[in-house]
Amino acid sequence: MKEAAMSFSGTIRGVIVFLLAADRPKTCNVSLSPRGKVEEGKPVTLTCRSDANPAAQYTFYKHNHSLTVGSGEVYPFHSVSSEDRANYFCKCENKYGNHTSSPLFLDILYAPKLPVVSVTPGEIMEGSLVTLTCLSNANPAASYRWYRENDNNPLSLRENLNLNNVNSSASGRYYCSAWNNLGKKTSTVNIDVKYAPRSLSVSIIPAGKTTKGSSVTLTCSCDANPAALYVWYKEGHESDKTSGQNFIIENIQQEHSGDYHCKVQNSLGYQNATISVIVVAGPSKLAVIGTMVFIFLIVIFLIVFFLLR
């Protein structure tokens, strides 16, 4: 009986020792190799370790989203990108419980991404204040320069370029360069300044008085943005309108004499201009025939004169 008791006592002690050794993970740590900031495109390894019995399984997290479940203690990045820049942690777990590591920030260095440029306001009128904005994702943070097309002198060394009291000469293409010590990217934006019609002029071809029966072309032109619409009408006949820059009158008659008005208009305003058409009678048919006969007789006379000589 004494030996049996001793054997039973030893078995009890073995169970107690086993129960003390098995436990949930007491520690859980995540590490980064190489340490510190890493350039985009380089390999990186996350390692998670724990003191646990039985051995822990590991789950890696980016922010609060799991990357792997029940994986090994190593999570490799073969070529990191800017999207991998985040906080990472791991969870160590066995059948007795789990333990979560403190977060570790993976800092990725990368050249500026293609800048996003914007223009305020969306529709630009003469005299307004215009702000061009350039933003690029970069680490370290990007520096900025604004240029105008065909001009190498920077207009601004900040992400914003302010254009005060703009006029039509401000229209054109502008460039924004974002750069850091790892590279540079450039984006463009076009500025289109709107204005009402101006510099209106009218002309008539052929110039001067117009002979009855001939044809004339009235031309109207102006500077406008957006492009202007043209409408012609004769004074006193506003209901009879013709559209377009050119107004052609064929076989013109005396009743076509008078003032003609050209109205140019866009969404920002309009202007009017006037030109006079004067129709005069041409030579009569009898006068034309007489002139031709006279010229014919002169030619005959010259021919006879040279033959007699």
User: pLDDT (tens digit, 9 = 90+) per residue, 251-284?
Assistant: 999 989 999 999 999 999 999 999 999 998 866 4
Closest by CA to 230, choosing from 238, 241, 240, is: 241
CB atoms closer than 10 angstroms to residue 248: 12
Comparing 65 with 68, the larger pLDDT belongs to: 65
**Spatial distance between the Cα atoms of 79 and 282, rounded to a whole number of angstroms:** 89
2-109 fold: Immunoglobulin-like (2.60.40)
What are the tens digits of pLDDT across the range 187-225?
999 999 999 999 999 999 998 888 888 999 999 999 999
Looking at the predicted structure, is the pLDDT value of residue 24 above 50? yes
Q: What is the 3-state secondary structure of the chain? A: CHHHHHHHHHHHHHHHHHHHHCEEEEEEEEEEECCCCEECCCCEEEEEEEEEECCCEEEEEECCEECCCCECCEEEECCCCHHHCEEEEEEEEECCEEEECCCEEECEEECCCCCEEEEECCCEECCCCEEEEEECCCECCCEEEEEECCCCCCCECCCEEEECCCCHHHCEEEEEEEEECCEEEEEEEEECEEEEEEEEEEEEECCCCEECCCCEEEEEEEEEECCCEEEEEECCEEEEEEECCEEEECCCCHHHCEEEEEEEEECCEEEEEEEEECEECCCCHHHHHHHHHHHHHHHHHHHHHHHHC
CB atoms closer than 10 angstroms to residue 86: 15
* Banded model confidence at residue 8, pLDDT cuts 50, 70, 90: very low
**Spatial distance between the Cα atoms of 298 and 282, rounded to a whole number of angstroms:** 24
Task: Return the pLDDT at 7.
Answer: 40
What would the two tokens of residue 227 be?
Answer: 């492009």
Residue 52 sits at φ, ψ, to 5 deg, of: -150, 150
CATH of 196-280, one of 3.30.360.10, 2.60.40.10, 3.60.20.10, 3.40.50.300: 2.60.40.10
Common-topology check for domains 2-109 and 116-191: yes
What would the two tokens of residue 137 be?
Answer: 């994702």
What would the two tokens of residue 183 be?
Answer: 């590279």
Looking at the predicted structure, is the pLDDT value of residue 9 above 50? no
What would the two tokens of residue 105 be?
Answer: 């920030």
The pLDDT of 25-36, averaged and rounded, is 93
Cβ atoms of 133 and 156 closer than 8 Å: no
Residue ranges covered by each domain of the chain: 2-109, 116-191, 196-280
Would you say domain 116-191 falls under CATH 2.60.40.10? yes
State how far the alpha carbon of 79 is from the alpha carbons of 40, 75, 112, 183, 281, in Å: 7, 12, 18, 18, 90
Torsion of CA 161, 164, 167, 171, to 10 degrees: 0
The pLDDT of 233-244, averaged and rounded, is 86
* Banded model confidence at residue 294, pLDDT cuts 50, 70, 90: confident
Cα 247 to chain centroid, rounded: 40
The pLDDT of 73-95, averaged and rounded, is 94
Q: Across the strands, what pairs with 125? A: 194
